[in-house]
Amino acid sequence: MAQQPESPRLSLSENQATIQNHRIQREINNIRQYFQSLKGDLQTQLATLQNNYNLLQQNLTQNDLLLADIHLDLKWIPLPNMATIQEVIAVVTSLIAPILQYISQEPPKDYVNKIKQLYNCSSIVSVVAAFNDAIKTQILASKMGGKYIPPNPFNNQAVVAVNTLALFLAWLNTKYQRNNIGTQQIATQRLTQEKFMLYDTSETYKTRIKPFLL
């Protein structure tokens, strides 16, 4: 009986190489499957994020439309808590109460600016149109004391009613010069006499001559 030919035997090194190749191929397949699975998960997450973004955009659009409708409605509704002129005057009066009555303790412009800044401190002032220049001037006039109490009626030298802050400041400057400095001619003479001394600084000299520059 004829013998079958034997299959060629692989050497040990060839067997090890074959096993190694199979192992590498398995690892490659596992990695490929992992990335395929990861890709699918990422696509699912991206689709979910896109859906959430679309819903958010729809909600924002609806909210914008709703706010626009509310804004239009509010324009026609009178505000029950709208401040009255009496309330504004009460607030402003309380703000300026700590400031001393004016008796020439500082230049008129500095004092008037101090009061004007307090006029703008309260948030309710801007919503009351009746709180105008005339009211502000009346409040400022009430802070005058001594020789600076305004006449009644409150007119300037040109017999013009002092009912604006600009007219008030001009009147107060004139009063200040008359009471503290005298006429403009005397003020100029006094100014020429105020020389810059060795002990002076720019600030002390500026403070000293400031009353003559009104």
Could you give phi then psi for residue 184, rounded to 5 degrees? -65, -30
In one-letter notation, the amino acid at residue 100 is L
CA distance 139 to 128: 16
Residue from 116, 123, 156 nearest 139 by CA: 116
CA distance 168 to 156: 9
Q: Which residue has the tokens 């009471």?
A: 179
Token pair for 3: 């013998």
* pTM, full prediction: 0.50
Kindly list the domain boundaries of the chain, sorted by start residue.
85-181, 183-214
* pLDDT tens over the chain, length 214 residues: 455 555 556 566 677 777 888 888 888 887 888 777 777 777 877 778 787 777 777 766 665 665 555 454 444 444 444 568 888 888 888 889 999 999 989 999 999 999 998 887 766 566 677 888 999 999 999 999 999 999 999 999 899 999 999 999 999 999 998 887 666 667 677 777 888 888 888 888 888 887 776 5
Residue from 174, 214, 212 nearest 192 by CA: 212
